[in-house]
């Protein structure tokens, strides 16, 4: 290694208590973006970050939006006299947090961070501990160590912090578009919002499933009917809707939407080998949610089913009488919400058309179908054969001594797609959460070891990226 | 005819305005049984009936129950010196009414009865106009005509009026049991709560479908899950429940519950001929509820599907996220309410077991099923080959000049089963409502012609019953 990473890592280790104190300071600010009562606190959390990052040699600060401010800050990197010696990195994160309710389920007040003893060492408990203040601190504190030892990072760095991630990022896309020239200058983004495989095994998430989410309403009779007077001789919309949905999967668990699997790609063999080596314990996975029997598409491993195979799940259904006791009504309509998780290379518009065709082909002639699509976006993958990806793998291996898991993510991270589409910027999804961190739930936590190893990892990845 | 029915019918015609006035008096009393605020009014409606019936030579009156009072009154009939010359008749009806809400949909206040001009002559509009005060008045006023002309009815008569029919008759069964000795003395009951086939064609209802009503909950994961993190690899209870319900009918509309049709009887050929002659207009029936395509069991006429064939309708379904927009949840449970309309000779306990078996055979191994049965009672039929039934047919033919329709009723009338089971008493279901009377709805109405022909019919049926 040509860069003095050992010194930087030593600086990280020496100041870990300081890192923890700073994270606690930030966690004490209740930056709940969804509740207008906390507007000043959200602003305060942004100011806190600007001040800390400014202290590391960055320029820039808050940028106003119609909602909470964005933060954009720059560091020129080492003075190379204009010759570009290393990639320009963009770090993305968010400084807002979820509301803490229900408060009575917290063991301590959510904005009074605790450091408690747990089975895997010390544990940070607070709203935002992992999502996303703790994760942001893994790269922010790595930049501090680089600043302390070398006067700054070994690359040009841009920071982009958002204050509305927990409200669906309403101003992110307009902001990226309005500032595309400036924000498309970096070569690669690092997004720190994903989990590790385990405390011992880091991970890079490279597959993100997309979504086709639809609400379908099936209408039959013009008004609710008495099942005694009409039952058996008129279309019952609930019977009709359940009959259609009952056809969603065949007995092999394959989704019956036309063309559903046409464009699905198999992951590269190297990735499949990486997954096989993870030793995923399906029984433990199921037991964690009170189940015992494997479920899903036949002939696929559980990690394939979760990461690289598309799905169709009914997320909600309603119709007719749902109160206590009995009411013999034939409802005039029934509705459901259905989401398909999509994988890269599936065309969401084609799936959307397939969903409509699936329902129309099975609906009784007299039924009126209405479709409302709420989210239609493609699956994403990060190229695994780039120098940036190899740098992230190497940096993680430097710190953990093991190969990172190449994970898929069943959910989507919209900012990754937005940056790819609007800025032409690929992301490295390197995060340090654990599956049991209770994101969005009471007693949200972040293991101190995750914070510490995360700072070390980001410091090492930065070195590896700077090597080019 | 040996009895002077013509005189009685003339007396009915001469006093039809008086009948109408008395009905209006009764309708002005808001005897809403379900709302404790109307307790005194319910009592007043009972007192009104006792006074009117006492004036016709009956003894007896109110009997207290834990809820609203029952009315039981007796008339010894003609003095035959102890020799039984004619059957003893029990008239059943109820003096309570449904709540009138929503009030804003009424054209006039619901307890200020109106006589308005409509396409089929004068029309009585008020809460209770048909259900059941108007229908009760058809036999009460026929008894008045008999009293006026002949000093009393030609048979021994018992009257049973209930004040809690609209709240599910919570005290009826205990009352029948406690007074079984007294109330089982009559030979046949007349229940006046069913419709005519049309204004020109009267009807006797002889088939009542029974019920097997169940709420089923299917549980999977121990708690709600994020579909991004679990979708495709765990049991989704809504998918599983809809998959089961989707199997409820085959492509011929036949219910797939095991043993469902084993004991179903075909109606007698004479009844089928009666139905065929009715000229049921299926297109008009469907158009009335905004539909155009016939639906139900293949190879059956619409009246068979409505009256003599069992059904399975999902009356309600719920699970997961049902709010605005999207939420990518895999719910831990899903529920439905399912009702099977049963026909005579089907064993409800066998159907209940079949419903459970149907779900259990199709549920994923990991799913937990819970069944709550709310109503399990058999279909009923009235013997059509008795002297009483023939007397009712003849009386109706005397008045209308046409054969009555021998109708089935898709719903159940619990009192008929209770009287059969507890008192051993068969019922003649002879009613004078019309399908469009808006029972339980705003602007409930009863055609004056229905009232008038109903009084005449009951007077004539009484004569025919007395002939023996």
Share of chain B above pLDDT 90, in %: 87
In terms of Cα–Cα distance, which of A343, A416, A426 is closest to A391?
A426
DSSP reduced 3-state for B274: helix
The pLDDT score that the predictor gives to residue B81 is: 58
Do both A64 and A88 map to the same domain? yes
Could you tell me the residue range of the domain that residue A168 belongs to?
5-208+379-467
Cα–Cα distance between B468 and A358 in angstroms, integer?
64
Higher pLDDT, B457 or B224: B457
Of the partner residues B213, B291, B336, the one whose CB lies closest to the CB of residue A366:
B291
Q: What is the DSSP letter of B165?
A: G
A377 close to A417: Cβ distance less than 8 angstroms: yes
DSSP reduced 3-state for B188: strand
The pLDDT score that the predictor gives to residue A3 is: 52
The alpha carbon of residue B234 is apart from the nearest alpha carbon of chain A, in Å, by 5
DSSP-assigned beta bridge partners for residue B427: B189
Cα–Cα distance between A87 and A188 in angstroms, integer?
7
The pLDDT score that the predictor gives to residue A1 is: 45
Cα–Cα distance between B116 and B95 in angstroms, integer?
23
Q: Which of A215, A231, A363, A408 to mutate to test the interface with B (most CBs of B within 10 A)?
A: A231
Do both A199 and A227 map to the same domain? no
Do both A262 and A365 map to the same domain? yes
Of the partner residues A225, A311, A322, the one whose CB lies closest to the CB of residue B316:
A322
Chain A 288-347, residues with CB within 8 Å of chain B CB atoms: 289-297, 302, 305-306, 309-322, 325-331, 334-337, 339, 341
Contact B317 A318 (CB under 8 A): yes
Do both B385 and B351 map to the same domain? no
**Residue A295: inside a domain:** no
In terms of Cα–Cα distance, which of B28, B271, B231 is closest to B128?
B28
In terms of Cα–Cα distance, which of A322, A417, A87 is closest to B216?
A322
Residues of B in contact with A235 (CB under 8 A): 291, 293, 295
Do both A186 and A317 map to the same domain? no
Do both B20 and B153 map to the same domain? yes
DSSP-assigned beta bridge partners for residue A370: A217
The pLDDT score that the predictor gives to residue A409 is: 87
Q: Which helix (H) or strand (E) holds A208?
A: strand A203-208
Cα–Cα distance between B296 and A231 in angstroms, integer?
9
What is the residue whose two structure tokens read 């831990």? B332
Do both B23 and B124 map to the same domain? yes
The pLDDT score that the predictor gives to residue B1 is: 44
Mean pLDDT of B449-466: 97
The pLDDT score that the predictor gives to residue B327 is: 85
**Residue A120: inside a domain:** yes
The pLDDT score that the predictor gives to residue B4 is: 54
Per-residue pLDDT of chain A (468 residues; tens, 9 = 90+): 445 589 999 999 999 999 999 999 999 999 999 999 999 999 999 999 999 999 999 999 999 999 999 999 999 998 765 556 799 999 999 999 999 988 999 999 999 999 999 998 999 999 999 999 999 999 999 999 999 999 999 999 999 999 999 988 999 999 999 999 999 999 999 999 999 999 999 999 999 999 999 999 999 999 998 888 899 999 999 999 999 999 999 999 999 999 999 999 999 898 999 999 999 999 999 999 999 999 999 999 999 999 999 999 999 999 999 998 888 889 999 999 999 999 999 999 999 999 999 999 999 999 999 999 998 889 999 988 899 999 999 999 999 999 999 999 877 788 999 999 999 999 999 999 998 898 888 999 999 999 999 999 999 999 999 987
A281 close to A372: Cβ distance less than 8 angstroms: no
Strands B203-208 and B405-409: parallel
Residues of B in contact with A306 (CB under 8 A): 229-233
**Residue A290: inside a domain:** no
Do both B350 and B434 map to the same domain? no
Tokens of residue A152, six digits: 């700054």
**Residue B245: inside a domain:** yes
**Residue A343: inside a domain:** yes
DSSP sequence for B17-66: HHHHHHHHHHHTS--BTT-GGGHHHHHHHHHHHHHHHHTTT-EEEEE--S
- B10-59 tens-digit pLDDT: 999 999 999 999 999 999 999 999 999 999 999 999 999 999 999 999 99
Do both A346 and A447 map to the same domain? no
Report the domain count for chain B.
2
The alpha carbon of residue A84 is apart from the nearest alpha carbon of chain B, in Å, by 40
Mean pLDDT of B382-389: 92
In terms of Cα–Cα distance, which of A210, A207, A208 is closest to A271?
A207
Domain end position, chosen among A377, A412, A443:
A377
Do both A433 and A353 map to the same domain? no
Residue B80 has pLDDT above 70, yes or no: no
- B163-186 tens-digit pLDDT: 999 988 999 999 999 999 999 999
What is the residue whose two structure tokens read 């009256």? B307
Tell me what ipTM this predicted complex has.
0.85
Do both A110 and A254 map to the same domain? no
């Amino acid at each position: 290694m040509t860069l003095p990473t050992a010194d930087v890592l030593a600086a990280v280790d020496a100041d870990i208590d300081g890192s923890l104190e700073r994270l606690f300071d930030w966690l004490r600010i209740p930056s709940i973006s969804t509740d207008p009562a906390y507007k000043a606190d959200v602003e305060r959390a942004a100011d806190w970050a600007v001040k800390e990052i400014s202290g590391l040699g960055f320029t820039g600060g808050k940028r106003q939006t119609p909602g909470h401010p964005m933060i954009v800050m720059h560091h020129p990197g080492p003075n190379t006299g204009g010759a570009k010696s290393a990639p320009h990195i963009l770090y993305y994160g968010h400084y807002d947090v979820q509301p803490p309710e229900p408060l009575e389920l917290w063991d301590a007040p959510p904005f009074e961070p605790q450091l408690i003893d747990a089975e895997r060492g010390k544990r940070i408990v607070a709203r935002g501990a992992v999502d996303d203040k703790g994760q942001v601190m893994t790269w922010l504190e790595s930049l501090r160590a680089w600043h302390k030892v070398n006067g700054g990072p070994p690359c040009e760095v841009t920071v982009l912090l958002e204050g509305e991630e927990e409200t669906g990022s309403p101003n992110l896309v307009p902001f990226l578009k309005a500032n595309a020239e400036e924000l498309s200058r970096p070569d690669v983004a690092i997004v720190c919002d994903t989990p590790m495989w385990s405390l011992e095994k880091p991970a890079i998430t490279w597959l993100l499933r997309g979504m086709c989410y639809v609400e379908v309403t099936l209408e039959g009779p013009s008004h609710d009917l008495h099942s005694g007077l009409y039952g058996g001789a008129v279309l019952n919309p609930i019977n009709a809707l359940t009959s259609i949905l009952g056809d969603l999967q065949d007995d092999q668990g394959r989704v019956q939407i036309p063309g559903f699997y046409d464009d699905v790609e198999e992951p590269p063999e190297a990735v499949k080998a990486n997954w096989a080596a993870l030793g995923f314990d399906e029984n433990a996975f199921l037991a964690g949610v009170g189940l015992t029997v494997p479920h899903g598409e036949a002939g696929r491993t559980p990690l394939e089913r979760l990461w690289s195979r598309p799905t169709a799940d009914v997320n909600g259904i309603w119709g007719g009488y749902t109160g206590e006791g009995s009411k013999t009504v034939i409802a005039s309509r029934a509705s459901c919400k259905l989401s398909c998780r999509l994988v890269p290379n599936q065309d969401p518009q084609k799936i959307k058309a397939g969903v409509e065709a699936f329902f129309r082909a099975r609906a009784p002639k007299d039924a009126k179908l209405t479709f409302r699509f709420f989210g239609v976006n493609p699956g994403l993958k990060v190229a695994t054969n780039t120098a940036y990806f190899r740098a992230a793998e190497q940096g993680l291996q430097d710190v953990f001594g093991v190969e990172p898991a190449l994970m898929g993510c069943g959910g989507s991270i919209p900012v990754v797609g937005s940056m790819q589409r609007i800025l032409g910027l690929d992301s490295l999804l390197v995060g340090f959460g654990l599956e049991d961190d209770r994101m969005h739930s009471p007693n949200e936590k972040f293991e101190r070891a995750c914070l510490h190893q995360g700072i070390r990892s980001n410091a090492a990845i930065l070195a590896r990226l700077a090597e080019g």
